[in-house]
Amino acid sequence: MMMRNVSILLMSLCLLVAAQVQAQCPVNINQFQAGETLTYDLYFKWGLVNTKAGISTLTTISQKYNGKDAYKMALTAKSSGMVNKVFSINDTLASYMTKDLIPLAFHKNAEEGGDHTIENMTYTYNPSGGISVHSKRVKNGEQRFDEVINYNSCVYDMISVVFYARTLDFSSMKKGQETRVDFISGKRKTYMIIEYQGTEKMKANDDKTYDCIKLVLSIMNASEKAFEDKEEAMKVYITNDNNRMPVRLDSKLNVGSTRAILKGYKGLKHEVNAK
């Protein structure tokens, strides 16, 4: 169960999208820069038990990819305390993107409760305008799949979509407005519904209070037709400033819930408005 908890926590950072994916992939960036590091405390709640589960970090650096200037965005999660004794976790997810946020590759190396999963995706941008994603997964030394998935427009993985989302203009949305976005998870085309819920004050674990944008996120399989069948998966709070920094993420589970709360940050591009 803890494996699912952490997977959803990691995924929740990737569900901050509040606009339809555009036909053209390049994006103008003003929300972050190389050198940014965000740190979170992770919690798990089950019944009356509410315990700290570990620490997560999200970092951005400049790095070459196939000889080209690129960003490397890496998300890590590591268990601690009682949770580490019951279900140890040591995960790293990383994406490479061009300096105008075109996805290039995704890598996952996850050790969760005795299981070891390695996943790799590479993006190929065809002259015709289509995109091919070569996705491979090996779990406990056994290959689970090795497939190429084709798209007609931009597609994002679990990390690259976080940074794309931070470039969007949430101020133009009305409370209750819903929109849909697709991204690739493993070998599946996955759809999400995002509902904008206005702004709310949120206190983080750095003892500061932030003015945040609140989003409610629901997940659907690509095969599902009726959006009325969507199921709420999480709530996400990001700063209502030029940084669009995730402050808190609450995830519902079949049993219990998880929460990630901002603990610290450095290297932000813009000044933070917090009290």
Give the Cα separation of 252 and 218 in Å (integer): 10
Please report, rounded to a whole number, the percentage of residues in the chain having pLDDT higher than 70: 81
Residue 272 lies in a domain: no
Structural domain includes residue 87:
yes
CA–CA distance, 70 with 62 (Å, rounded to integer): 6
153 in a domain, yes or no? yes
Secondary structure of residue 7 in the 3-state scheme: helix
Residue 46 bridge partners (DSSP): 49
Q: What is the DSSP letter of 136?
A: E
Q: Using CA atoms, how far apart are residues 194 and 227, in angstroms rounded to an integer?
A: 12
Tell me the residue ranges of DSSP E strands in 66-208. 68-79, 89-98, 103-112, 115-125, 131-139, 142-151, 178-185, 188-203
Task: Tell me: pLDDT of 28 over 80.
Answer: yes
Mean pLDDT of 136-159: 91
Higher pLDDT, 5 or 187: 187
Tell me which residue range forms the domain holding 46: 2-266
pLDDT at 120: 97
For position 7, what pLDDT does the model report?
54
Flag whether 274 is in a domain.
no
Higher local confidence (pLDDT), 150 or 18: 150
Measured at the alpha carbon of residue 8, what is the angle toward residues 172 and 31, in degrees to the nearest 5? 35
Q: Is residue 183 part of a domain?
A: yes
Find the range with the poorest average confidence among 168-177, 215-224, 230-239: 215-224
Helix (H) or strand (E) holding 263: strand 257-266
Inside any domain, residue 101: yes
Let me know if residue 68 belongs to a domain: yes
Give me the percent of the chain exceeding a pLDDT of 90.
44
Q: Which of 3-7, 74-78, 159-163, 204-208 has the highest mean pLDDT?
A: 204-208
- Tally the domains of the chain: 1
Confidence of residue 10 (pLDDT cuts 50, 70, 90): low
Please say whether the beta carbons of 43 and 261 come within 8 A.
yes
Within-domain flag for 273: no
By the 10 Å C-beta count (0-12 exposed, 13-18 middle, 19+ buried), 132 is classed as: middle
Q: DSSP character for 79?
A: E
Q: Provide the mean pLDDT of the chain.
A: 83
Q: Check pLDDT > 60 for residue 24.
A: no
Answer whether residue 259 shows pLDDT above 90.
no
